[in-house]
Structures are given as structure tokens and as C-alpha cells.
Amino acid sequence: MVKITLPDNSVREYEAGITGLEIARSISPRLAKEVLSISVNDETWDLTRPIHTDASIKLYKWEDEEGKHAFWHSSAHLMAEALEALYPGMKFGIGPSIENGFYYDVDPGDDVVLRDADIPKIEAKMKELARQKNAYQRREVSKAEALAFFEDKQDEYKLELIDELEDGTITFYEQGNFTDLCRGPHLPSSELIKAVKVLSIAGAYWRGDEKRKQLTRVYGITFPKQKMLDEYLVQLEEAQKRDHRKIGKELELFAFSQNVGQGLPLWLPKGARLRELLENFLKKVQVQYGYQQVITPHIGQKQLYETSGHYAKYGKDSFQPINTPADGEEFLLKPMNCPHHCEIYKVHPVSYKDLPIRMAEFGTVYRYEQSGELHGLTRVRGFTQDDAHIFCTPDQLKDEFKKVIDIILYIFKALDFKDFITQISLRDKDDHEKYIGSDENWEKAETAIVEACQERGMETIVEYGEAAFYGPKLDFMVRDAIGRKWQLGTIQVDYNLPDRFELEYMGSDGVKHRPVMIHRAPFGSMERFVAVLIEHTAGKFPLWLTPEQVVVLPISEKFNEYAKKVSEVLNNSDIRSVLDERNEKIGRKIRDNELKRIPFMLIVGENEAQSNTVSVRKQGDGDKGSMTIENFIQFINSEVKEQLAAIESK
């Protein structure tokens, strides 16, 4: 017999060899129909895998991330089975589950090119195979057996993956006529996959390396019910309407140029104004919390990043060294701001009375992302972080950390990000190569984050292996208006960079000590934050933030001078106004400016010019009647004040 501890800490006894599915069935027949995977002593397993020892378990359903992972990972194998059936001889790379669905990287061969026209055929085959109710069966093999199997299939991609595995047991998964190298976990059977959609076909370099062969990446998503797929497709259609690349072009916020380079955004005047408004908003908050603004160069000597450890960890993803006329002198475009801030700290001797020191910078950094991973503003090669570094004593650490939490929560509420989760990202203690610093410092940093979150009453999830290489962190994952998850704000605790840069302060005991360093970025990067904000609001920014608050529309050219006067008065009153004096009919002007999502339109003609008034239309709310220019200024200022007062009250 084995003792099985359930999540409520109750214990049940079963015969050794019991499976998760059988345990679920013993609890409730309904649970057995809904459960998708199981964790056994914190390791996720297949529901059909026998349990031979005492264990603590959790059963995962569709609502759980672990349940979705098993469902979509199994669906990736189902798609691979369909592709192999349709295109014999196809070779397979990797097929992971992702946040919304899954993909498989495949090599169809020189004679086959997968196109969008093939999608219906692939979907139909997947549905056919799912209806066969084939079991996903786990099989343990030796490394030699695994190599022999894929040598026989002449699949060099799987052989490369197996070569990198340590000697010992390797697992295969089989369903129907398909066998794959895989750790799992998987569903008990393909019959649970009821709704299938192949989303797109794209190119992807093998192992993300532009020097390797370009494979075909097939994206898909599946659900246990057709209704779920239908709802998802509606959401997907809405997401496409909100795509920040589309809206950014319509609103003339940013652009890209091949002559400048991939992944290097050009901020147009309206986009620059939006960024400036966001920066000024955060700067005002930072002043209230005692931050001082600093500015650092865009480049630094390579040695600086070797000292910090960034070059060893991210050198391959950095722009390669810039050589100067001086022999042996090498510079890098800076990948992070923190080494520069460490150097600022060292400019003057520091006493414990000077701490905490809070430095803030909107600093632009550069990382060489693969071209296939670039995506609008969300994945770029040059981006500006709303970066700050706090240098404090160990005793001040927790309070400083909590103050940063308060700043991030304030910003999220101000911009109407209501739905978010907070993730404590800790190190994987078994992966010693990934992190720098002593176990003692890591323990202190991790404890400070956990206690700070508890004292703020925050609900958190813990992810091991997601820490930065120099310290643990608290990440804020925001869900936008249509439910997509984005990682934005982050706070990181670091005992290691102060050691590497030999930072010191004189303590009250007359002895020199190391400060602790907090890295924080409430927005994350300006580029990604603006992208998420565009898609969250569909480009309809709050009045206090929108780059253009008012557009003045003369009915005809005769009234251009009066319209210009109105616009100038508004701009002189700190109301962001533009003038549309095109020789177009007023109906066309109204339609065009509605699409630009400008909150207010002021229509002026003969009556308005004679009475020194404006006819007011509000975005989404129609005609607001006639007002004097002074009354309109009071009206719009009142709306802005109400919005900002609502933010302050939060």
C-alpha cells in the first residue's frame, strides 16, 4: 500500500501502482472526466503513470496552467502525427506548448512547402486522429535505443537533441502510429481533444540560430469543447483589431525602417509625446519617493560588463564589441543600465546616513535579438527601460522593496491594469551554472522578497528557475482587456553586483559594509509598455495621457483662420490641440478623426466664428453642444482633473 496526500492534507491509502486517473476516479467520477495531469511530489506526471511510493499529489484540470500544458503538449504530438501521415518522411524538431496553444518545428523536405492552403487538410487529419481515441503511452528507452530509432528514421534534429542528453533513461511517447522523444506529461488519450484549429504557418531557424536551417513552424490551438474554440477565435479577432502595430501605424506613433535596422523603432512626434507623458508621470511619482534622476552613456567598455557578469551571460545576445582607433580598446552598446549606476555610486564615499540612495534613469539598452523573434514594439533590439537602482542597508531592504511594490501598483491602477498576478521568481538550486553569488546571499534575498509580499498581503505564485542571474525577483504579469498575459513591472534583489563592483558604505560601527541593490522597472521597457497599453486601450488613451486631446475642424477654408486661433488658444492653455484644415467635407473630416481616436472634435463655422464659440463632439459620445472657448477649456481641464483625482484616490 502507498499513502497519498491530497492538497487538503488528507491522506488516502491505495495499492502500489495506482495511477492519478484511478485516484481521481476514486474521489469523483466527474473529477476523473475533467482531470488532465497530476503532480507527484511536485513533479508533473501523466495521469496513467503508476505511483509506487508514498506521495503528495495535485490533480490539474483545464483551469490550471499545468492542465493546459499537458493538453497542448499532447496536441502538438497529435499535429505531428497528422503531418507525418500527410507528408511521409517529414522530420521533426521541437513541439512545445506555449501560452496560447502549441507549435511544431518541422522539416518537410526539399519537395514539400507547407502553405496556408494546407491548413484545412492538417486540421481535418488531426480531428480524424483524435477521434481514434489513441492512448498516449510513455516508454523508457536507453540512449543507444533512442539514437538507433531516429537514425533509422534519418531525423537529424532528434539525433542532435538526444546527443545532448546525459546517458541514462530517455522517454519516448507513442500515440497511434507516431513516436516522439519527449519528457511529457501527456493526456491519457487523444479523445479529450474535441476542437482543433491550426492558426498559422511560419518560418523558424533550428534552435533559434540564424546560421542554421530554416524550418517550418506550424502553430495550433485546441480545446476540450468546441464552444471554447469559438470564444477564443472571437477573442483572436479582437486581438487582431487591437494589434499595436496596426494601431500604431494608424495613429502615427512609431515606425520601422530597414535602413535604420530591424528591431530599432523610430518614434514619430505623437508617439514621442505619448512616451514623454508617461515618463513625466513616472518622474513625478519618483520624486515623491525620493529618487534622483541620472543619465548614463549608451556605450561602455567591455570590461565593465565582464565585471558585472552580463557579458558572460548575455555576450552572445549583445551587439558585438565596437573597436576604436586605440589598440585593444573595446566598447559595447550597453545591454543593461545597472553597471553604470554602480559606477555612479562609487563617485563619492558613502555613509550609512546617506542610504538609501535611489537612482532613476530612462536608459536605452541594446540586445541583439534574433530577427525571427522580433515583433513590433514587444520584442526589439533597442529599448528604453524606466530603470532605477536603490542602494540600501540590509535593514532597509524590506521597506524599500515594499515601497517599490506600492509604486508599481499605483501605476497599474492609474492605467487601468486591474487584472494581474505577481510571480516570485527564484533560482533553481540545482542549476549552479546559471547564477552568480553565494548561497547565503541568495537565501537572504529570496527571504526578503517573500516576506515583503506577505507583509503587503499580496497573492503570489512561485516559479523556480526564473530568477535573474544575479538575484531573485518579483515579476508583475498583467492581463490586458482581452485576457492576454504580459510581463511588465519587475523588482529584483541583488547582493552580488555590489560584491563584484566592490561597493561600500561606512557603517555606524565605523566599519565598511556592502550595500544591497534593488533593481526596479515599473513599466519594464517603454516600448513593450506602450505596445501593451495600445492593445489594452485599443488606442483610446485616457484624456490626460493621449498625445492629441483636441482636433479643430473648420467647416470650410473660409474659417481656417478662426480654427487656427482656437487651436493656438488651446495649446497656450496646455491643451494638446491639432488643426485639420484639409480641403475636405466636414463629414469626411469627422470620420477620419474618429479613426484617429482623438477625444474631442471642435467644429467651427460661421456661427462659431461670429460668437467666439466652438461646437463640441466627444469621441464615442457624440454632440456636446456649443461652448465658448473659455468654457471648453474649463470643461476639458475639469475632465483631466477628475481623471487624475481618481488616480490619486487609488
For this structure, is 387 an active site residue?
A: yes
DSSP string across 299-356: EEEHHHHHHHTHHHHHGGGSPPPEE-SSTT-EEEE-S-SHHHHHHHHTTS--BGGG--
Beta strands in 498-620 (DSSP E): 505-506, 512-513, 516-521, 550-554, 577-579, 600-604, 613-618
**519 in a known ligand binding site:** yes
The angle formed by the CA atoms of residues 587, 637 and 527, to the nearest 5 degrees, is 75
Nearest to 47 by CA among 38, 55, 39: 38
- 473 as an active site residue: the answer is yes
Query: In angstroms, how far is the first alpha carbon of the chain from the final one?
Result: 56
Selected catalytic residue, list 385, 423, 492, 549: 385
DSSP 168: S
Closest CA to 14 of 46, 23, 6: 23
Classify strands 577-579 and 550-554 as parallel, antiparallel or unpaired.
Answer: parallel
Active-site choice (381, 513, 519, 520): 519
Asked if residue 389 belongs to a known ligand binding site, the reply is yes
Which cell goes with 80? 505531428
Report the distance separating Cα 21 and Cα 263, nearest Å: 47
Q: Which of 77, 186, 313, 338 is catalytic?
A: 338
Query: Does the active-site annotation cover 519?
Result: yes
Contacts of 386 (CB under 8 A, 6+ apart): 279, 282, 360, 362, 521, 522, 523, 524, 525, 526, 529
CA distance 625 to 615: 6
- Is there a contact between 383 and 365 (Cβ–Cβ < 8 Å)? yes
Is 338 annotated as ligand-binding?
yes
**Pairing mode of beta strands 357-366, 292-293:** parallel
17 residue type, one letter: G
Find where cell 573595446 sits: 330
Which cell is 137 given? Answer: 503511452
Catalytic residue among 367, 576, 589, 617: 367
Question: C-alpha grid cell for residue 628?
Answer: 465658448
Q: Give the residue among 547, 532, 244, 523 at the shortest CA–CA distance from 384.
A: 523
Phi, psi of 305 (to 5 degrees): -80, -20
The dihedral through the CA atoms of 606, 609, 614, 617 has a sign that is positive
Hey, is 462 helix, strand or coil?
A: strand
- At a CB cut-off of 8 Å and minimum separation 6, what does 416 contact? 536, 537, 542
Query: Edge-to-edge strand order for the sheet containing 516-521?
Result: 292-293, 357-366, 382-392, 516-521, 485-494, 473-479, 419-426, 460-464
Q: Would you tell me how many other CB atoms lie within 10 Å of the CB of residue 366?
A: 21
User: Is 385 a known active-site residue?
Assistant: yes
Q: Tell me which residue of 376, 404, 402, 373 sits closest to 388, measured CA to CA.
A: 404
Q: Is there a contact between 406 and 457 (Cβ–Cβ < 8 Å)?
A: no
Bond preceding residue 356 cis, omega within 30 of 0: yes
Question: Of the listed 107, 387, 475, 494, which one is catalytic?
Answer: 387
Residue of 242, 302, 389, 617 marked catalytic: 389
Is residue 389 part of the annotated active site? The answer reads: yes
Q: Which residues are annotated as a binding site?
A: 338, 389, 519
Catalytic residues: 338, 367, 385, 387, 389, 473, 519
Q: Which residues are annotated as a binding site for Zn(2+)?
A: 338, 389, 519
